[in-house]
Structure 1
Amino acid sequence: FETSILPYEDCCTVFTPRHPRTHPKLDDVMNELKKVDFDALFEEAYSTMTTEVKLIFPEYR
């Protein structure tokens, strides 16, 4: 408990922009999305993905 009540900067305060755009223009968003290589991102995600199976009923092993 003592550790959990200590003040700290969480990810919201660290990574949130100071002045976020809350009403972006669709054209601006679409232009930025064109810069992202989604195929490469998906390929990397799929090629490094692993599957892990965990038994929740250990008595059935």
Structure 2
Amino acid sequence: MVSTFNDALNSNKFIITTEISPTKGVDPTATLDDAELIYIRLKDINRLNLLEKMFEPKEYDV
């Protein structure tokens, strides 16, 4: 597990890990709503990065 994590850290990719857990006896609805917003924003960021890679100028050998 450690070597895989280190390999991932040394690659040119971002790793985001998080753990969300509400306090005992607290309604987790607000926390789950926040987590969903973060998830949606990260998906949008990843989608934009993919689009940028798809449309970035390419160099060709002539």
- Structure 1 length as normaliser, TM-score? 0.27
Give the number of the structure whose alpha-carbon radius of gyration is greater.
Answer: 1
Ranked by relative contact order (alpha carbons within 8 Å, sequence separation 6 or more), the top structure is 2
- Structure 2 length as normaliser, TM-score? 0.26
